[in-house]
Amino acid sequence: MKKLLLIDDDKELVSLLAEFLCLENFAIETAYDGEQGLQKAITDNYDLILLDVMMPRMNGFEMLKLLRQKNETPVLMLTTRGDEIDKVLGLEMGADDYLAKPFSERELLARIRAILRRTQYKNATDQNKISHLDIELFPAQQQVICQQLTIELTATELLLLETFLNHPGKLFSKAKLSEQVLGKKLQPFDRSIDMHLSNLRRKLPARLDGQTRVKNFRGRGYMWLEGDVTSEEAS
């Protein structure tokens, strides 16, 4: 049974969601503000955290920032308005996905299961090592080493990196990456893949040869580079 932590100051909503998720065979713990939620998140082990943005005492963004200093527990942000800035900020700070209120119970369940599948894949794979240039990825150990540095990645970032490292030089469309990495169809104006890739780029040291690691082919997608790319379409 997967253990979830639900953090939201709307007690009526928390009660309804907790009842629904218990019926779906999840173990649910709750908190009603960011401070209480953070304390639970860092002192216990959870498979996933459902985190509201707008809360008293400490909002969801502040809590997520502090949480990411401690661990990489998957986080699904619950945004009140669905504003683009809320989505982008949450992803930049290390959230695995976001869901705008109001949402259906089935949509919430689908997002939860997609994140848990990524985490389970990360934990279950038994490949010894995937190497490319200065990066070594050890899926079974959930570890990435680059230039002798250990790089801490979320489950989503690790699966994104593994997808690229298994196919260097292959052009992936955003739609394909969204389905393969996030487990959902790409929606109009959805920047989730862009933000996860931006976080991955930020965490990895620059290549020693000065070349970029990933090229964006405008209107076509992303490619993890084997060497130089001279195409005028790349940016």
Q: At what angle do helices 105-124 and 11-23 cross, to 10 degrees?
A: 60
Alpha-carbon span 192 to 97, nearest angstrom = 7
Domain hosting 207: range is 127-224
53 is a domain residue = yes
Do 56 and 86 have their domain in common? yes
Helix (H) or strand (E) holding 135: strand 135-138
pLDDT at res. 210: 83
Pairing mode of beta strands 26-31, 2-7: parallel
Does 112 share its domain with 132? no
Looking at the fold, whether 64 and 156 belong to one and the same domain comes out as no
Final residue of a structural domain among 62, 90, 122: 122
Mean pLDDT of each 10-residue bin along the chain, 235 residues long: 95 95 96 95 95 91 92 89 70 87 91 84 59 84 85 88 91 92 85 90 88 88 73 38
Domain boundary among 122, 149, 164: 122
CATH number, position 9 = 3.40.50.2300
Q: Is there a single domain that holds both residue 175 and residue 131?
A: yes
| CA distances to 15, 64, 68 from 71, in Å | 27, 10, 5
Domain boundary among 102, 122, 142: 122
Q: Do the beta carbons of residue 224 and residue 168 sit within 8 Å?
A: yes
